[in-house]
Amino acid sequence: MTILTKAGNDDRLEDDKLMICLDVDGTIVNHQGLMSARVREVARAVVKAGHEVVISTGRSLGAAVPLMTELGIDHGYVVASNGGVLARMRGDDVEILHREVFDPSLALAALMRQLPNAKYAVENERGEFLSSDVFTDASFGAESKVVEFDELLRSKAVRVVVFSTDATAEDFGQAVHGLGLSGVTYSVGWTAWLDIAAEGITKASGLERLRTELEIESAQTLAVGDGRNDIEMLQWAGRGVAMGQAPEEVKIVADEVTASVDEDGLAIVLEGLLQD
């Protein structure tokens, strides 16, 4: 069992402080990967006020840590790879507290039969990326190494990514859902993009592990996100806020909806906390 200390942004949260769980892409940064000055300023103010700000992202750890630094989090936590990795940051040191691995072979084989022209990548138990083709994305936080597909099947995975260049997002989503993948948790992105994690592993499961160990009340949790991989997180939080551009299936599970990422929807939520 992983035991966490209670040293995050503060030694212990006061009764009026919150555990604030933030998605990255489409929430903290826009779809070009840019963070607005308004979001940066208010997020830093919230951190300085003593709230436990937790990055909760589908990105891998290496791609998430720079965002923590930009937000002024020098002592805190990150849930990466859609809940597959929980890590603690202390200054320049990053410590893996928990990593959830699974056997991706059945899911990969089923997907390859249905989507033979797609690109496949596996984040393994060492945080390395192996891919079936030249396949690099900012969410990886590292260069991928091209290997034979059979090596992907033999790998222990934290995260599996599938990207199709010859299908629309709608057609891709229908193909994936039609496979009836079992033994894994998966979410389809805005494009023809699929993220797969171990069964039962989501951003919410990673955050719940952290919340329990930090002894934070459920009512003191706030989550903000915009994607299908944020649905469980928004349901889990005491207050779940969907971004304005989120799909309807995401908005419907949230307690409220803020403005879009291009309208600084996250900043609006965080500014409200500072005014309370």
pLDDT at 7 over 60: no
pLDDT tier for residue 54 given thresholds of 50, 70 and 90: very high
> Is residue 187 helix, strand or coil?
strand
CB atoms within 10 A of CB 259: 15
Q: Which two tokens stand for residue 81?
A: 């790879």
pLDDT at 2 over 50: no
Q: Higher-confidence residue: 87 or 92?
A: 87
pLDDT tier for residue 258 given thresholds of 50, 70 and 90: very high
The packing angle between helices 169-179 and 105-114, to 10°, is 130
Q: Looking at residue 17, what DSSP letter applies?
A: -
| DSSP-assigned states of every residue in 204-271 | HHHHHHHHHHHT--GGGEEEEE-SGGGHHHHHHSSEEEE-TTS-HHHHTTSSEE---GGGTHHHHHHH
At the topology level, CATH places domain 105-198 in 3.30.1240
Nearest to 77 by CA among 95, 63, 92, 62: 95
Nearest to 202 by CA among 85, 103, 49: 85
What pLDDT shows up at residue 272? 95
Residue 11: burial class (beta carbons within 10 Å; 0-12, 13-18, 19+): exposed
Q: Higher-confidence residue: 20 or 106?
A: 20
Q: Higher-confidence residue: 114 or 188?
A: 114
Of all helices (H) and strands (E), which one includes residue 145? strand 144-146
> Average pLDDT, stretch 169-198?
74
At the topology level, CATH places domain 19-100+201-275 in Rossmann fold (3.40.50)
pLDDT tier for residue 182 given thresholds of 50, 70 and 90: low
How does pLDDT run across 150-167, given as a tens digit for each residue?
999 999 999 998 888 776
In degrees, to the nearest 5, what angle opens at C-alpha 49 toward C-alphas 44 and 54? Answer: 60
Cα–Cα distance, 266 to 23 (Å, whole number)? 10
How does pLDDT run across 122-133, given as a tens digit for each residue?
999 998 999 998
How does pLDDT run across 204-232, given as a tens digit for each residue?
999 999 999 999 999 999 999 999 999 99
Q: For the chain, how far is it from start to end, CA to CA, in angstroms?
A: 37
Question: Domain segments of the chain: what residues?
Answer: 19-100+201-275, 105-198
pLDDT tier for residue 15 given thresholds of 50, 70 and 90: low
Q: Which of 90-99, 107-116, 209-218 has the lowest mean pLDDT?
A: 107-116
